[in-house]
Structure 1
Amino acid sequence: MKEKEVDKILSEKKIVYVVSDSVGETAEFVVKAVATQFNGGHVDIHRHSNADHKDDIEEVIQMAGKNQSIIAYTLVIPALKAYLDQRAVEEGITAVDLLEPLMNAFEKKFEKQPKHQPKLMRKLDEEYFRKVEAIEFAVKYDDGRDPRGLSRADIILIGVSRTSKTPLSMYLAHQSYKVANVPLVPEIAPPDELFKVPRNKCVGLIITPDKLNEIRKERLKSMGLKSEANYASFERILEELEYADKIMKRVGCPVINVSNKAVEETASLIIDVLKSERSH
């Protein structure tokens, strides 16, 4: 086929060049939505993602000019947007900024300046899925259910019953940390995996006997049980705390006293302590 015939075929095709300094999914979706209003949407969309240099823009300008096409773009980097607008005018190409009208409306209504940073939406999506994965992880590896999760955890919490291991696991999961927790009970040996993980992944949670006694009595009361049960007795509590202390020393992990601390405060301490441990 001769070059002139190829050029003729290309000029007859309805082509829209989608340009983005990110993936370009938003721009492509908008173009498809508009195209369906014209003859069932028979248009070829050529996506040019991650455009972060004038050379990328120039390449699209040349192709769009040759094919008499439209350029639809979502560029948030001011210099690239300005360059594309200028070159489109120079070459007589229709170029449509899909973000500018709404961006201007936001800026005017909320009296704030946009960040002009590409790929922020992608970062938000990735952050969301990391958080969901972390929450699922915390549920799966709560209360020592499966010791295989210890090697995959970002943080491991150990302590006796009622030291806020589960609430802390969930709170930290909402900050995208994968957390596993292991209860320390004298009658049940901790899993071997606990002694194989790096000490800077593990935090021991301790509490004063008085506070633990108070919490456990309330727990028994809420369950309709007598507060004199062995679970809340001082002798049992002291036995458990002594056992937990031995395990924590064996693991060699940092220890945080959770007595009278809110979950948020303890979680912040855990993150600070582990960051300090890992920086050494």
Structure 2
Amino acid sequence: MTSAARKTQPIATFFHVHLVSDSTGETLNAMLKATASQFAAAKPLEHIYALIRSRAQMEKTLAEIEASPGLVLYTVINPELRRLLEIRCSELQTPAISVLDPLLHAFTDYLGLETTLRAGAQHELNDAYFKRIGALDYTLSHDDGQMTWDLETADVVLVGVSRTSKTPTCMYLANRGIKAANIPLVPTSEPPPELFTLRKPLVIGLVASPERLSQIRESRLGGLNAGDAVEDYSDLDLIRQEVLRAKRLCTKYRWPMIDVTRKSVEETAAAILTKLSARQNQ
């Protein structure tokens, strides 16, 4: 790196962030990441305090906040514990933000209903929880072309050439309660015949630029020396043929396509969820 480049590169600013939750803290963690990502030069040092449901636990948490002052984000339902946290943070002149309050107030005003005030309500062992566990089990057993005879029970089936993030996208969807299967499109064989007779699942093709796929495949292979098969796997011209074949297949069967070249797994999954929602609302 040149000295000029070093001068223009922002110096990272490290700061403490305390995530205080009476549940698992997943909500706080997600909101912190979404917010901190908008500040490239800011690097949060996370302190996580999960399942804080007693005064003794809160007192210990406050002692750690005092030892490393910084932002405090919290989701605490118990009024006594909330008050204790807010008063002590005020004394320490430390910003304390209840991240769910604006949403809860908006829901209350719109629905005309009071909140239930249950800590960790989103993690109860209810139907939604078991649906998510069932979706994860289904996705694991239908990964990479497995159990094609059972594809009709899927919510979505992803098809695509190698390294289009089919498996991680399916796992992300499963965590949202979506039963997702995936079928690899390989140049040496035809897709399973069951794929072409599906009625219930939404079949979606994942595509990417051949140049990007070639880079990813070369990186994955690293220093392996397995002969022509390996060279063919990352050969740009052959990949172009693979991608073209995949696009023609999707066009023939009118399967929607998503270009994942510049998309994260989360962005690809969001696009799939949008398509699923639109289909269900037809």
Q: TM-score, normalised by structure 1?
A: 0.56
The one-letter code matched in structure 1 to 2:218 is K
Amino acid at match of 1:189: E
Question: Which structure 2 segments of 5+ residues have no match?
Answer: 1-76, 87-97, 102-113
Contact kept, 8 Å, 2:139 with 2:170, in 1: the verdict is yes
The reply on whether 1:221 has 2:230 as its aligned counterpart is no
Cα 1:259/1:222, change in 2 over 3 Å: farther
Verify the 8 A CA contact 1:186 1:240 in the aligned structure 2: yes
Task: Give the SS at the match of 2:124.
Answer: helix
SS class of match (2:222): helix
Matching residue of 2:250: 248
Query: In the TM superposition, what whole-angstrom CA distance separates every residue of 1:115-166 from its partner, at most 9, and x where no partner exists?
Result: 2279x95983122222221111111000011102310111110000100000
1:163·1:207 contact (CA, 8 Å) conserved in 2?
Answer: yes
- Compared CA separation, residues 216 and 199, structure 1 to 2 (3 A): farther
When the two structures are aligned, how many residues end up with a matched partner? 179
Within-5 A mapping of 1:39-78? none
Separation in structure 2 between the aligned mates of residue 150 and residue 109 of structure 1, nearest angstrom: 53
1:276–1:110 CA distance, 2 compared to 1 (3 A): farther
What pairs with 1:198-237 in structure 2 (closer than 5 Å)?
198=199, 201-221=202-222, 229-237=231-239
Per the alignment, in what secondary structure is the counterpart of residue 186 of structure 1?
A: coil
Residue pair 1:149, 1:180 contacting (<8 A) in 2 also = no
The equivalent of 1:145 in structure 2 is 146
2:263 alignment partner, SS class: coil
Q: Which runs of 5+ in 1 are unaligned?
A: 1-101
Whether 2:150 is the aligned partner of 1:124: answer: no
Q: Distance in 1 between matches of 2:149 and 2:85?
A: 49
Q: Quick one: distance in 2 between partners of 1:173 and 1:218?
A: 27
Name the CA shift for 1:269/1:110 in 2 (closer, same or farther; >3 Å).
Answer: farther
Offset from partner CA, 1:140-199 (integer Å, 9 cap, x none): 000011102310111110000100000101111111111000001132221222111238
SS at match of 1:267: helix
Find the residue that maps to 2:125 and give its secondary structure. Answer: helix
Following superposition, the deviation at residue 201 of structure 1 comes to: 0.8
Give the 3-state SS of the residue equivalent to 1:189 in structure 2. Answer: coil
- Normalising by the residue count of structure 2, what TM-score does the alignment of the two structures yield? 0.56
Aligned-partner residue type, residue 115 of structure 2: K
Aligned partner letter, 2:144: D
The residue type equivalent to 2:213 in the other structure is L
Cα shift readout 1:71-107 (whole Å, capped 9, x = no counterpart): xxxxxxxxxxxxxxxxxxxxxxxxxxxxxxx955456
Identity rate of aligned residues, in percent? 33
- Counterpart position of 1:12: none
Cα distance in structure 1, aligned partners of 2:205 and 2:216: 18
Cα distance in 1 for residues equivalent to 2:167 and 2:224: 18
- Aligned partners of 2:122, 2:267: CA distance in 1, in Å? 31
Instruction: State the AA in 2 paired with 1:115.
Output: T
How far 1:261 sits from its partner (Å)? 1.1
Secondary structure class of the residue paired with 1:169 = helix
Partner Cα separation in structure 2 for residue 110 and residue 147 of structure 1: 53
Counterpart for residue 29 of structure 2: none
Task: Give, as a single letter, the amino acid of the residue that structure 2 aligns with 1:248.
Answer: C
Q: Give the equivalent residue in structure 2 for 1:271.
A: 273
Secondary structure of the equivalent of 2:140?
helix
After the TM superposition, which of the residue ranges 226-235 and 260-269 deviates more from structure 2? 226-235
3-state SS of 1:259 partner: coil
Q: Could you tell me whether the CA contact under 8 Å between 1:185 and 1:243 is conserved in 2?
A: no
Q: After superposition, where does 1:18-37 map in structure 2 within 5 Å? A: none
SS in 2 for 1:203: strand
Q: What is the CA distance between 1:278 and its match in structure 2?
A: 3.7
Aligned partner of 1:44 in structure 2 is: none
Q: 1:225 to 1:109 in 2, by over 3 A?
A: farther
Evaluate the alpha carbon distance shift between residue 109 and residue 156 of structure 1 in structure 2; reply closer, same or farther with a 3 A threshold: farther
Higher mean alpha-carbon deviation, 265-274 vs 243-252, is at 243-252
1:86-105 equivalent positions in 2, closer than 5 A: 105=80
Contact 1:199 1:252 in 2 (8 A): no
Alignment partners' CA distance in 2, 1:247 and 1:199: 19
